[in-house]
Structure 1
């Protein structure tokens, strides 16, 4: 495990890079699959990283509690070197109820993670519906203030950001980098 901090080139107000990825449910998803949502939380995550696993419950809760928010997990890790991150293993996590996001997608060729500038798991990107109807980046940073897997959070940054979006307000949070395991790139 290598500890990394997120560092993206996406700026506030920019639209998310599109994707077309297979999910644990066997379906293929694109950004248009979430067109009914007011907000879209895209989290680059995986099955084996303790930092990512520590956030499963939070992400499951957000997916269950917010009807107007789609929570999408994207697993970009090299499944050859890390078989726990294979699509089959992703399905097992979903079937066991450990992951209950709106969609859990496999970025097998890692192009989506690279296009977002994701570097660690978890690495969250929160988009709001813009005036033109397209998603635009509203927040990129920590899910909460618990930086280590065994820590209990005292502040849930992503909830504050979601609540601001749903209230029609600006997200007034400092973008502090997420922290976790490095994405396991296939070309390294």
Structure 2
């Protein structure tokens, strides 16, 4: 346990000293999302991206779902890696309740080689994701959502023919230690929605690796 805590202390220290490396810091005052972006209550535009199985996946493919859990994530980010099993668990818990996970990788493979499409396929297969892992190679979907970090979550609820944002932010309140989590933001949001109740906490500040935009 000491080794695990020490490793995360070093990570946090590194991020504090070298904030420009692309990693988020809590309360750093910087932008946590791309230009523009959806707000809670907004309807999401349709998107269509390539999955790691080679097929194209559209938001409209989930028309029969009650909603979806959109997670912007990546292969290289230590925060995304720390949350990987928790994302898998969210899909395992909520897909059957009508809220499956859609994972999207907007990371520039020119900046991080671990985020190439081939590496995405390898990771999805090795971890048996059980949900789509889509490549946002133009980063346009991430920009529309206003995503700025990996991981960053948007819980969408089906309303008529549209998907509406009901929660946006972090998965829970403890990136470094799943056993130390006290606030299950996404879990609580989806549980409420599935039970016909409103989401209590609708926005939290995502903590993770900053998305490197290709035109910057």
TM-score, with normalisation over the residues of structure 1? 0.91
Aligned twin of 2:151: 122
2:101 is aligned with 1:71: yes
Q: Measured at CA, do residues 101 and 187 of structure 1 come closer, stay the same or move farther in structure 2, by a change above 3 Å?
A: farther
Displacement of 1:101 = 4.5
Distance 2:177 2:193 in 1: 29
Cα shift readout 1:51-81 (whole Å, capped 9, x = no counterpart): 1111111110111122111201110111122
Bigger Rg over Cα: 2
Distance 2:80 2:88 in 1: 12
The answer to which structure has the higher strand fraction is 1
Kept after mapping to 1: 8 A contact 2:153/2:171: yes
TM-score, with normalisation over the residues of structure 2? 0.80
**Structure 1 stretch 23-32 or stretch 10-19: which is displaced more?**
10-19
Provide runs of 4+ in structure 1 moved above 4 Å: none
Alignment of structure 1 residues 20-99 onto 2, 5 Å: 20-66=48-94, 67=96, 68-97=98-127
SS at match of 2:41: coil
Aligned twin of 2:176: 149
Distance 2:195 2:76 in 1: 35
Displacement of 1:6 = 3.2
Distance 1:166 1:6 in 2: 28
Higher relative contact order (CA 8 A, sep 6+): 1
Kept after mapping to 1: 8 A contact 2:48/2:57: yes
Q: Which runs of 5+ in 1 are unaligned?
A: none
SS at match of 2:209: strand
Equivalent residues, number: 185
The answer to which structure has the higher helix fraction is 2
